[in-house]
Amino acid sequence: MRGANAALGAAGLAAFLALGEAVPRLGLVKEAYFPPTSRIADALGQEVTEHAFWTALGDTLTGWALGLAIAIGAGVVVGLLISVVPYLREITASTIEFLRPIPSVALIPLAVLLYGTELRSVLLLVVYASFWQVLVQVLYGVQDVDPVAEETARSYGLGPWARVRHVLWPTALPYVMTGVRLAAAVALILAVTAELVIGAPGLGARIAVAESSQAVPDMYALVVVTGLLGLLINVGARTVERRALAWHQSVRGEVAV
């Protein structure tokens, strides 16, 4: 089944690349605005031979990884704290619902005022966007705890930490992993967006330079790189999720299929 899916995916990708080559060649769009796939591939090959490309890639991955790590740690800790402290969830509910919908890009002026084009500007945006993905999933996960299991733990005299470890965490972990997977994708989007708009070092800034200098094939090549990064991050997050939840019924069923 997986082999068939992989073959279909490869066929779809090949058709997409062929379409990207044919459309500008047939004059349906101007090559100056949308170069053929072959020209983009040539530009990509040239990019990977340059030291500046790898430096930019490292800067993007640094902002992504640091921001994601901070967001995951803060989201899990704050989510568990809100869930286990009496009345804290009710007290913070309106604040969370007010802050969560604010787009991270709306904080770009604040980030520039505080940190300029430094890495800390990227981290501010990445952490803010990714934090909510994890926090909300933790809250949902704890809310899904079986009341009977919770009462049983209390009747056996388990303390707050023991209940978190043996009751809350196993139930919330599938939700947490979903939040981590979503946060990983969001973190990459915000890292590249921050670099593109603010001018912080990274792939986004390199895309902006290519666009402003009319190096259109290079711009598309760099966009392809960000897409490949997103694909690798998603595959990696799903792999970690499957391994972390190997004991869970949903993953066991997926493996069995």
List, for residues 123-133, the tens digit of each pLDDT value.
Answer: 999 999 999 99
Report DSSP state, residue 158: -
Of 26-40, 83-97, 112-126, 240-254, where does mean pLDDT reach its minimum?
A: 240-254
Mean pLDDT across 53-62 = 95
List, for residues 16-35, the tens digit of each pLDDT value.
Answer: 888 888 888 888 888 888 88
214 contacts: CB under 8 Å, gap ≥ 6: none
User: How far is C-alpha 82 from the chain's CA centre?
Assistant: 24
pLDDT at 9 over 80: no
pLDDT at 79 over 80: yes
Note whether 60 and 195 are within 8 A (CB): yes
- Higher confidence at residue 159 or residue 41? 41
Quick one: pLDDT at residue 256? 43
Quick one: pLDDT at residue 37? 87
Q: Please give the C-alpha separations between residue 253 and each of 169, 179, 238, 250, 257, in angstroms, as whole numbers.
A: 21, 21, 15, 5, 6
Quick one: pLDDT at residue 87? 85
Quick one: pLDDT at residue 205? 93
Quick one: pLDDT at residue 6? 67
Across the chain, which distance is largest between two alpha carbons, in Å?
75
User: How far is C-alpha 143 from the chain's CA centre?
Assistant: 24
Note whether 104 and 129 are within 8 A (CB): yes
List, for residues 187-230, the tens digit of each pLDDT value.
Answer: 999 999 999 999 889 999 999 999 998 889 999 999 999 999 99
Mean pLDDT across 39-48 = 91
Average pLDDT value for the chain: 86
Of all residues in the chain, the percent with pLDDT exceeding 90 is 45
